[in-house]
Amino acid sequence: MDLARYVVDAVVLEGRSYREVARAHGVSKSWVGKVVGRFREGGYGAIEPRSRAPREVPHHTPVELEDEIVALRKQLTDLGLDAGAQTIHYHLSLRHEQIPSVSTIWRVLHRRGFVTPQPHKRPRSSWVRFEAQLPNERWQSDATHWRLADGSEMEIVNFIDDHSRLAVASRVFPRATAPKVLALFLEAGERWGLPAALLTDNGCVYTTWHRGGANVMQTELLALGIDYRHSRPYHPQTCGKVERFHQTMKSFLAKQPKASSIPELQTQVDRFVAYYNDVRPHRARGRMTPRAAFEGRDKARPSGPKIRIGAGVRVRRDRIDKNGKVTLRHRTRLHHIGIGHGHRGKRVVMLIDGLDVRVLSEDGELLRHLTLDPTRDYQPQA
């Protein structure tokens, strides 16, 4: 601005030539002419520095579309639903033929102040993940807690499909018990088909192996030929998919009016499950809805032996160790039972009725039948 003003004054007021002024200040003669021409057309204001930004940006996101992105962000957040750039991209694709990329949506949210910088998280490549290859290959189940308006605590039991993330059952109970959870499982099985396997934690509504016997859930799964597996104690990551489902559900419930009764809370849960299964795109399934992922492949079915056990019989699951043995505790004393080196690494089901012990493979093959000798730590093969 100062040099342009000086050049204009030198030419217009002093009458110096363009060439002389240009040579004295190390600029081109054409630039001096351009500045003087702008001055004569618009005065000193016309020689102020101008922005070099283009007047029009062909690929710039229209303001109206940016406002729609922000409105979607607020709407989903107010409902307690996922409101990330991926989800907004999915909802925009249902409304428009041409939509901005996920990265553009993220930049719009960042520019409008909806994205808070976070410290670097642990990279996904460092996690060891497992996932069922078919629908109904494995279900996960767990119970979580939620309070009504009067402060009373309810339990919500959820079953989800490991492959598709479909919520196959979600029920509110004043107190979850093994018979109630079993009834919910069978009800979900009638609607979606029984799974080949079930994965849960060590809650007593699912298993009582640590108490020395089987509950109704375990015995019914054995009778149906369903492989039952549980996580190791204090390791919720094994059931991470249903744990993540709890978190998503609670984010939704936290945005709803506090339910004053179980039916009202169940209505809110059902509304969330309908949205989660049929509307919300799931990132882990390539932005497909869980129902679409569930219906997109053939279903797995129970394939294990159907084992029925009588009253008084307890069940224990184990894996044969590298020495060909399994362990069994009888009246606080630990016993080692020889099965054979040829069966190392096999998973087995042990049916214990007093001192009578039957060790079966997961295929139903009887590997050993013995009468336990309580006086010996090691029970050798005959």
- For position 66, what pLDDT does the model report? 83
Of 247, 264, 295, which closes a domain?
295
My answer on whether 274 and 202 are in the same domain is: yes
Residue pLDDT, tens place only, 133-170: 899 999 999 999 999 999 999 999 999 999 999 999 99
pLDDT at 40 over 80: yes
Structural domain includes residue 276: yes
Q: Quick one: tokens of 253?
A: 């419930």
pLDDT at 216 over 80: no
My answer on whether 13 and 68 are in the same domain is: no
Structural domain includes residue 230: yes
Structural domain includes residue 134: no
Structural domain includes residue 53: no
At 64, the amino acid letter reads E
- 3-state per-residue secondary structure call for the chain: CHHHHHHHHHHHHCCCCHHHHHHHHCCCHHHHHHHHHHHHHHCHHHHCCCCCCCCCCCCCCCHHHHHHHHHHHHHHHHCCCCCCHHHHHHHHHCCCCCCCCHHHHHHHHHHCCCCCCCCCCCCHHHCCCCCCCCCCCCEEEEEEEEECCCCCEEEEEEEEECCCCCEEEEEEECCCCHHHHHHHHHHHHHHHCCCCEEEECCCCCCCCHHHCCCCHHHHHHHHHCCEEEECCCCCHHHHHHHHHHHHHHHHHHHCCCCCCCHHHHHHHHHHHHHHHHHCCCEHHHCCECHHHHHHCCCCCCCCCCCCCCCCCCEEEEEECCCCCEEEEEECCEEEEEECCHHHCCCEEEEEEECCEEEEEECCCCEEEEEECCCCCCEECCC
Residue pLDDT, tens place only, 87-107: 888 888 888 888 888 888 888
My answer on whether 211 and 342 are in the same domain is: no
Q: Mean pLDDT across the stretch 56-76?
A: 81
- For position 137, what pLDDT does the model report? 93
Structural domain includes residue 131: no
The range of the structural domain enclosing residue 31 comes to 2-47
User: How far apart are alpha carbons 129 and 203 in whole angstroms?
Assistant: 23
Residue pLDDT, tens place only, 271-296: 999 999 998 877 766 678 899 989 98
My answer on whether 147 and 287 are in the same domain is: yes
My answer on whether 161 and 254 are in the same domain is: yes
pLDDT confidence bin for 42, thresholds 50/70/90: confident
Instruction: State the chain's maximal CA–CA distance in angstroms.
Output: 122
My answer on whether 283 and 167 are in the same domain is: yes
pLDDT at 310 over 70: no
My answer on whether 192 and 278 are in the same domain is: yes
My answer on whether 282 and 152 are in the same domain is: yes
More confident residue, 3 or 285: 3
Structural domain includes residue 303: no
pLDDT confidence bin for 320, thresholds 50/70/90: very high
pLDDT at 234 over 70: no
Q: Mean pLDDT across the stretch 253-257?
A: 92
Structural domain includes residue 117: no
Residue 200 sits in a domain whose CATH number is 3.30.420.10
- For position 212, what pLDDT does the model report? 54
Of 295, 329, 351, which closes a domain?
295
Q: Quick one: tokens of 182?
A: 């079993």
My answer on whether 169 and 284 are in the same domain is: yes
My answer on whether 206 and 289 are in the same domain is: yes
- For position 67, what pLDDT does the model report? 87
Q: Domain total for the chain?
A: 4
Structural domain includes residue 54: no
My answer on whether 214 and 346 are in the same domain is: no
My answer on whether 192 and 94 are in the same domain is: no
Q: Mean pLDDT across the stretch 297-319?
A: 80
- Angle, helices 262-278/240-254, rounded to nearest 10 degrees: 120
